[in-house]
Amino acid sequence: MKNRPCISHFPFLIFVLLLLSGCWDQTNIDKRAYVIAIGLDKGEKNKINITYLISNPEFSKQEGPSSEPSHEIITFPANDFISAKNTANSIVAKEITYNMLSVMIVSEEFSKDPEFIRYMYDVTKDREIKHNNPLVVTKEDVSTFLTENKPKLETRIHKYFEFILENANKAGLIPSFKLHSYFSITESDAGLFLAPYATTQRTTSGKYTAGEDEFLAGELD
């Protein structure tokens, strides 16, 4: 008879499970639009053009893709990329979220702008943007870059950026600097932030670099 209170209390624990669903902050996966890449271009009159690469979550399923496209790219002018979330909802039906954001892309023109860091400070104010996302600079406008860039085999676009940045970094082609180090390097004076440089334009001279393999250690100056 001693154990009885314990057992009779046990069913009440089931009610605790109801609390797990949360009240205000519950969100459904199928009610959100996941932005994989944010592109920033210089716009007119101190505004910026924002490009969203929104992934189609159906493509991560095992059963294989449906007839829908794997991703959607939209470009629109905005003041900053926090309020842009709401602006984008005039085209995209679902709620925009940066939770799955895997890369931030900036055009070369905009990254050279002295005002650039001011726009980047919004990163620190939006809790959904993680500071370990990489920052990539493109030669052309980001909107052209994202539309031109069509990986043939990696249709699941949310994996594409993750893989290419990881493996290109392993090969030593690009530095692995994140948004986090962008701030710490730029804020402390006399620092130079090195970002991966990307483009979809083919260079006209398709020659091999002369003598790429013919150096000994210490020869290069």
Partner 1 sequence: MDHTKGMLGIREFFAIILVTIGTKLTDNTPTGLFNEVGNAAWITIIIMCLVSIIPIYLLTKVITSYENKNLVDIIYHLLGKHIGFFVILLLWLTETYSIVLSSAMYADIIETMYFVRTPILIIYIVLIGVAAYGAKKGIEYIGSAAWITLIGLNIALFVVLILSILQGRINYIFPIFGNGIPEILTEGTTNLSIFGEFLYFGFIVTSLRSINVYKKGIWIGLFYVSIVFMFALIGYVMLFDYVSIGNLNYPFHESIRYIQLGFLTNVESLFLPFWLVASFLRFSFYLYISALLFGALFKIKQFNYLVPSIAILIVFLGLIPEAPVFSLFNLREILVYITAPIFLLLPLVLWIAAKLKGEFKK
Look at residues 34, 36, 26 and name the one whose alpha carbon lies nearest to residue 95: 34
Helix then strand then coil, % of the chain, to nearest 5: 30, 20, 50
Distance CA 131, CA 147 (A): 25
* Nearest approach, Cβ of residue 184 and partner 1 (Å): 4
89 lies in the site for partner 1, by CB under 8 A: no
124 lies in the site for partner 1, by CB under 8 A: yes
Out of 4, 127, 152, 202, the residue judged to bind partner 1 by CB under 8 A:
127
Q: Which helix (H) or strand (E) holds 6?
A: helix 4-9
Out of 10, 12, 24, 208, the residue judged to bind partner 1 by CB under 8 A:
24
Compute the CA torsion angle 178, 183, 186, 192 (nearest 10 deg). -10
Name which of 142 and 164 has its Cβ closer to partner 1: 164
CB atoms within 10 A of CB 48: 22
* Nearest approach, Cβ of residue 131 and partner 1 (Å): 5
Binders in 172-201 for partner 1, by CB under 8 A: 180, 183-184, 187-188
Strand partners, 135: 104
214 lies in the site for partner 1, by CB under 8 A: no
* Nearest approach, Cβ of residue 88 and partner 1 (Å): 18
32 lies in the site for partner 1, by CB under 8 A: no
* Nearest approach, Cβ of residue 25 and partner 1 (Å): 5
Q: Which residues lie closer than 8 Å to 40 by C-beta, 6 or more apart?
A: 48, 49, 50, 51, 81, 104, 105, 106, 107, 110, 119, 142
Name which of 37 and 146 has its Cβ closer to partner 1: 37
CA 117 from centroid of its chain's CA atoms: 17
User: Among the candidate windows 33-41, 130-138, 151-159, 205-213, which touches partner 1 by CB under 8 A?
Assistant: 130-138
Out of 31, 47, 61, 131, the residue judged to bind partner 1 by CB under 8 A:
131
Binding site residues, partner 1, CB under 8 A: 22-25, 124, 127, 130-132, 180, 183-184, 187-188
